[in-house]
Each structure stands twice: as structure tokens, then as C-alpha cells.
A and B are shown apart, each in its own frame.
Chain A
Amino acid sequence: MDLLFLMAVCGALTFLLRFSFIAGNRFLPQSPGLQHVLRYVPPAVLAALIAPEIFAHNGTLSLALDNIRLWAALVAMAAAYLTRHVLATIAAGMAALWCLQALFPG
């Protein structure tokens, strides 16, 4: 029951974060300036979530060129840029990662 309680608290907390400004929009300044700032939410948050997955996998920072996740990510970026398709991007990135893992085991 402790577990269920903790899950409920975490769920409520997450919901409240998502509900916050949707519920309280009138407390936000209704200016074009704010919308201009918020335009940078998607690129900034996405990059913050992506970078550690590539460079800090397993908790250790690896900026060297022998980091195969870096190359797989670059393949995925190229696929996204050229095809504009999500499916093609994920497939190309996973395929690249698997090929590199097979070529350079360990």
C-alpha cells in the first residue's frame, strides 16, 4: 500500500506540473514576448534530453570519437533531415547503432 500511495503522490505531482499554467493562464503575462520565449521550449528541452543519452550513457561522459552512440545519432540526424520521417529516423539510428556494435564489439 505504501507503494500505491507513493505512485499516487508522484502521479498527482506530475499532473499538477502539467496542469499549472493551463489552469492558471490568466496569471501569465499575455504578451507576444512570452510566446516568443516559449518558442524555444521544444528545441531546448529536446536537446537537454538527447545530449546525455549520447554522451553520458552509463553515467560516464565520453566525448571521444569512439563513442558509437555519437555516430548512430549523426546517422539519425541525417535521416531526419533528408527524409522528414520519424519512422525512418528511428530505424536508421537503431540500424546504425547495431551495425557499429557488431563491427566494434566491446
Chain B
Amino acid sequence: MNSVSDDSLVPGARAEFLAGVRAEMPLLLGIVPFGLIFGVLGLAAGLPGWAVMAMSVIVLGGSSQIVFVQLWGAAAPFLVIGTTVGVVNLRHLLYSASMAPYLDSLPWRWKWLLSYLLTDEAYMVAIQRFRDGPATAHRHWYLLGTGLTLLAGWFGSTVVGVWVGQAIPASWSLDFSIALTFIALLVMSVRRKSEICAALASGAAALVLQPLPHKLWILAAAAIGMLVGLITYRWWGEGRTER
């Protein structure tokens, strides 16, 4: 009865949400081993099991959580732990700026919720849909789908990691799974030559800048990569050949 008429050509909220879930699911093959490792590392650093599990919901940021437990295990001062977690997560400012125009017209409760869920993996998948897909009224549900899927996989694997404890041998190299996940996202998302140049420059800069304190090299390398991307875009005049 008097429900809002739904244009059958435009994907509705449910369809967008499920599309986001489906797009995020394959990434869990890389996320789950990383969550297991985090669970084990957290216990090894002397944190109680409940805290390790709670952190995956409260902070919801893989690499920053690993830094947190390593510093906690080394009895670092609170200020150092807080600062380092903050700096490791500074790149989320870039995600926020890049996502902002697509979420601008949403009510505040959506902005709060989707900001909380704006992890590396949820952002990287969703931004491709926002940028290249149709500008429909329900597209924010896609980000909700990628974000909740990531949260469920990350929290679930942390719980299992805490539960199985020390049973994961380091020789399995499961920590490499997160790099492989990022490799998949990177290779599949680059289209332009200038994007490849941005990636190469950023990767090289990240290695050179490793000595920077508090993992500042993440943001510094990303900034250099973006600059090189812009310069090479102009250099090749990619804007004229492609639209």
C-alpha cells in the first residue's frame, strides 16, 4: 500500500547493502588471518582477553591496534600509545575527505555510523562504487554493507584468535595476508598510468621514510604519491585522452 514507489531500475537500500556485503566478502580471506594474529599478539602483550576483543570494536583499525598492543607490552607511556595510534590512523583524514561529498546530504546519524565504519578495506571497496557507479539515493547503504561486513569479520577473527591463543605458528606467515589484500585492491583499482606512478612513488617513499617516528611515514609517503600522481597526470595530459 502507500509505500514509496520504487523505480525498479534504481537499486534500493537492500540491493545496495547486499552488493556492499558481496563486494567485501572476498577480502575477509585476508582480514581473518590478520584478526587471528591480532588476538594472539594482544594476549602475548599481556592484555586480558576481554580487552583484546573489545579493542576490535572500540578502535576498529587493524594496524593501529597492533601498534597499541606492542607498545602496551613494552610498557610505553599512555601519551606515546595514544599519539602513535593517532598518527597511524591519520590517513583516515584522506578517506574522510574523499568520502565527504558522497555523504553530504545524509542525516547526522548516518554520518556518525558510516564514519565509525570507515576502515581501510570498507573505504577502498566503497569509494570505487561511489565514484564509478550511479548516483542513486540509496548508495550509502553500500558503504554500510562493506563496513559492517569488515567489522563482523575483524571482530569475529579477533575473538577466535584470543580463543585459540598461541596455536598459530609464526612460520605460517599469516601476517602477509593483509599485504596481499591491499595488493588485490591496488591492482584492481588502478586505471590510469598516473595512478601507477602515484603508487610506485608512494611505495618507494614509504621505504625511504621508515625512520620517521610514530609511523608518520604512512601519511608522508601517501602525500608524495598523490603529488607524483598529479604531476604525471599533467605530464601525459591524461585528462584530454580520457573522459
Contacts and interface: CB of A to CB of B under 8 A. Distances in A.
Contact of B226 (A22, A44, A55, A97): A44
B92 A14 contact: yes
B51 A97 contact: no
Contacts of B223: 44
A95 B81 CA distance: 35
Given A22-B99, A42-B189, A43-B229, A17 B90 contact: yes
B59 A7 contact: yes
Given A14-B59, A89-B187, A42 B124 contact: yes
Nearest to B218: A48
Contact of A47 (B26, B188, B199): B199
A86 B225 contact: no
Interface residues of B, number: 91
A87 B29 contact: yes
The interface centre, meaning the residue of A4, A43, A49, A87 with most chain B CB atoms within 10 A of its CB, is A43
Given A7-B54, A17-B93, A47 B202 contact: yes
15 contacts: A3-B47, A3-B48, A15-B115, A21-B100, A39-B131, A40-B226, A43-B190, A44-B198, A47-B186, A50-B179, A50-B203, A85-B184, A90-B30, A98-B172, A101-B171
Contacts of A21: 93, 96-97, 99-100
Nearest to A91: B29
B196 A19 contact: no
B203 A47 contact: yes
Interface in A52-81: 52-56, 61, 69, 72-73, 76-77, 80-81
By DSSP majority rule, is chain A's interface helix, strand, loop, or mixed?
Answer: helix
B173 A98 contact: yes
Contact of B207 (A56, A86, A89): A56
Contacts of A56: 207, 210
A17 to B, nearest CB: 4
B86 A13 contact: yes
Interface of A: 2-4, 6-11, 13-15, 17-25, 28, 30, 34-56, 61, 69, 72-73, 76-77, 80-81, 84-87, 89-91, 93-94, 97-98, 101
B100 A25 contact: yes
A3 B180 CA distance: 32
B136 to A, nearest CB: 19
B225 A14 contact: no
Contact of B51 (A7, A52, A54, A86): A7
B38 to A, nearest CB: 14
A73 to B, nearest CB: 6
Nearest to A49: B182
A17 B89 contact: yes
B168 interface: no
A9 to B, nearest CB: 5
A73 B172 CA distance: 16
B29 A86 contact: yes
Contacts of A18: 92, 95-96, 115-116, 118
A76 B92 contact: no
A17 B202 CA distance: 21
